[in-house]
Chains A and B, each alone.
Chain A
Amino acid sequence: MGFFSTILGQIILAALETLAVLVPLLMIVAYATYGERRVMAAMQLRKGPNVVGPFGLWQPFADAVKMVMKETIVPSGANRVLFMIAPMLTFGLAMVAWAVVPTGNHLAVANINVGILYLFAISSLGVYGIIIAGWASNSKYAFLGALRSAAQMVSYEVSIGFVMVCVLLCVGSLNLNDIVRAQNGLWFCIPLFPMFIVFFISGLAECNRVPFDLAEGESEIVAGFMVEYSSMSYAMFFLGEYANMTLMSAMTSILFLGGWMSPVPFLAFIPGPIWLILKICFVMFVFIWVRATFPRFRYDQLMRLGWKVFLPLSIGWMVLTAAALEIFGWLPHG
């Protein structure tokens, strides 16, 4: 163990830990694209991709190869540097956030004190990829998409923040590991059920998913901020969207579904990462289910839902939670 306590050893160790998180994550992201197409196909009585490999399982790799072979086109009026930075930013931020996600008891690349703030900060930075893409493309459709998305993501972050405060009141710590351990026996999705729903729906809006995908809105603004992108830069946006979805699912699991803990004590021998992955898959399935079920919101209704429904509801529930904890003496003292 002597080698791993030197500086070089520490760096190598950190790199290995990062790989241990990123490789499964990228696999999940790649197969999320396949899973979404298969699940939606099943819901719509179609077959979905079933040709490449057994059950179409090589489809993600076929898609990746296709994307790499395409020509990258930069529009002549575009701001070249920002145009190329935007997809990297989207994809990179979605990856960076995973540094603090606990996959087992104290099993995270960085188990920091303010883990939940870190996640919140990173997810609120995600909007920059989209705004910069929309502006740098120098195209009206892209710009409209970027504006829509900026207003939408900032609006829904507010209620996500208040939902997080509700959870933090019950935990008494900002550490993600503590948040998961505080749910031992009772997941927060039961006592905080309304907030669970608000968080899930705001998560849909934050990821620009159907029914809140007005930033893309293919029937009105073609593909929104992605309209000028092609080849790998498009693929990075595409994968970034799925990585964000995975991240939002992980956040939902950690805050409300007991993270890496097993739902019943006699299944506790199954390791934490597997439980976390199962929960992420469940939440992502619901994301896809929603996509296959609901039509797109109108923009004014989207704003109304965020500001006039979710915001008062989450603030009210936060006050209620604090009052209940104080009256019954359940306040955790961290």
Chain B
Amino acid sequence: MIFAQIFFYIFAAILIVSAVMVVTSRNPVHSVLFLILCFFNAAALFLIAGAEFLAFILLIVYVGAVAVLFLFVVMMLDIDFTELRAGVQRYAPIGAVVGIILLLELVMAVGGWKIAPAAAVLRMSPMPLGISNTDAIGRILYTQYAFLFETSSVVLMVAMIGAIVLTHRERTRSKSQNIARQNARQPADTLTMMDVPIGVGVKQLGILRPGPALAAPGEKITLPETDHVAVTHKPGAH
């Protein structure tokens, strides 16, 4: 038990320090990396509390996916952070007002919180019925909280579709490949095999464009003046 306490304080301390570093570090990439460290320690705290399912979901969703995208975006941004900091004093009052409103809302929300009778029993025994907590979360999430669960998934869906609608644009000049068309292409559509006698060439056969009459081997051919451009047309274009 003493080990659990020692580890709790270690992880909690690292969590708080890295959370402070997220806000104070000058380099935004460092901020994101500290945020990841933060998530990591939060997951460790979940583990100590016996909530291993939540711990690993936190790692998979936030560290494995969300923070990767954060890092991805922040690395590509070219922000001058001194420039951003120039406005801090000017915007501080507005920020403070927004913060206070959010705090009041939180207080009101938590103040009006009532714990369902069934949930109160669950709080007393974090792992009811001697089943694993993955099982326990599943049982409660898909029965008692099914509506909230589905609603939150719809909210996420709307956000996703919204983001796509707002940012998606048809690129008319895009050279992207239509895979179905590419796979449906047959050799016969684009390729013609032909037998060309030695020393004659395709031009003289009149396949590419009308040329002079066929010459016998050894006879000198005089090409038209205009015909010194390499012909790359598809056969049969003329």
From A24-32, A116-124, A265-273, A317-325, give the one contacting chain B: A116-124
Point out the residues of chain B lying under 8 angstroms from A150, CB to CB.
68, 71-72
Given A114-B56, A124-B64, A157-B64, do A135 and B75 touch, yes or no (CB 8 Å)? Answer: yes
The contact size tier of chain B is 20 to 34
Contact B56 A118 (CB under 8 A): yes
Nearest neighbor of B132 in chain A, beta-carbon distance: A113
B129 within 8 A of A: no
A107 at the interface (CB under 8 A from B): no
B51 to chain A, nearest CB (A): 10
Question: Could you pull out 27 A-B pairs where Cβ atoms are within 8 angstroms?
Answer: A112-B52, A113-B133, A114-B52, A114-B53, A117-B57, A118-B56, A121-B59, A121-B60, A121-B63, A124-B64, A124-B65, A125-B64, A128-B36, A128-B68, A128-B71, A132-B33, A135-B29, A147-B76, A150-B68, A153-B68, A154-B65, A154-B68, A157-B65, A174-B132, A174-B134, A301-B177, A334-B135
Determine which of A113, A114, A304 lies in contact with B179 in the assembled complex, contact meaning CB atoms within 8 Å: A304
**A121 CA to B36 CA, complexed, in Å:** 13
Interface 1/0s, chain B 45-67, versus A by CB < 8 A?
Answer: 00000001100110110011100
Q: Which residues of B contact A114 (CB under 8 A)?
A: 52-53, 56, 134
Determine whether the beta carbon of A127 is less than 8 Å from that of B52. Answer: no
Given contact pairs A112-B52, A301-B179, a sample of 17 additional A-B residue pairs in the complex whose CB atoms are under 8 Å apart = A82-B33, A113-B132, A114-B52, A114-B53, A114-B56, A117-B53, A117-B57, A118-B56, A128-B36, A128-B71, A147-B76, A150-B72, A154-B69, A157-B65, A174-B53, A300-B176, A300-B177
Chain A residues with a Cβ under 8 A of chain B: 82, 112-114, 117-118, 120-121, 124-125, 127-128, 131-132, 135, 143, 146-147, 150-151, 153-154, 157, 161, 174, 300-301, 304, 334
Residues of B within 8 A of A128 (CB): 36, 68, 71
Q: How far is the CA of A304 from the CA of B180 in the complex (A)?
A: 12
**B72 engages A147 (CB within 8 Å):** yes
Considering only CB atoms, which chain A residue lies closest to B131 in the complex?
A334
Residues of B within 8 A of A (CB): 29, 33, 36, 52-53, 56-57, 59-60, 63-65, 68-69, 71-72, 75-76, 132-135, 176-177, 179
Tell me if A117 and B56 are in contact (CB < 8 A).
yes
List 5 tightest A-B contacts by C-beta distance, closest first: A124-B64, A117-B56, A121-B59, A113-B132, A121-B60
Query: Residue on A with the closest CB to B135?
Result: A334
- Tell me the nearest residue of chain B to A298, going by C-beta: B177
Give the complex CA separation of A272 and B200 in angstroms: 72
Looking at the assembled complex, report how far the CB atom of A303 sits from the nearest CB atom of chain B, in whole angstroms: 11
Please give the distance in Å from B74's CB to the nearest CB on chain A: 10
Q: A260 CB to closest chain B CB, in angstroms?
A: 22
Q: Which single residue of chain A is at the shortest CB-CB distance from B2?
A: A7
Query: CB distance B134 to A131 under 8 Å?
Result: no
In contact, B72 and A151 (Cβ under 8 angstroms): yes
Q: Report chain A residues within 8 Å CB of B179.
A: 301, 304
Residues of chain A within 8 A of B132, CB atoms compared: 113, 174, 334
**CB-based nearest A residue for B72:** A150
Chain A CB within 10 Å, residue with most, of B64, B75, B132: B64
- Give the CA-CA distance A114 to B177 in the complex, in Å: 42
When distances are taken between beta carbons in the complex, the residues of chain A under 8 Å from B133 are 113
- In the bound complex, do residue A127 and residue B68 qualify as a contact, i.e. CB atoms below 8 Å apart? yes
Q: Quote the shortest CB–CB distance from B26 to chain A (angstroms).
A: 13
- Chain B residues positioned under 8 Å from A153 (CB to CB): 68
Nearest A residue to B179 by beta-carbon distance? A304
In the complex, chain A residues whose CB is within 8 Å of the CB of B56 = 114, 117-118, 120-121
B37 to chain A, nearest CB (A): 11
Which B residues touch A112, using CB under 8 A? 52
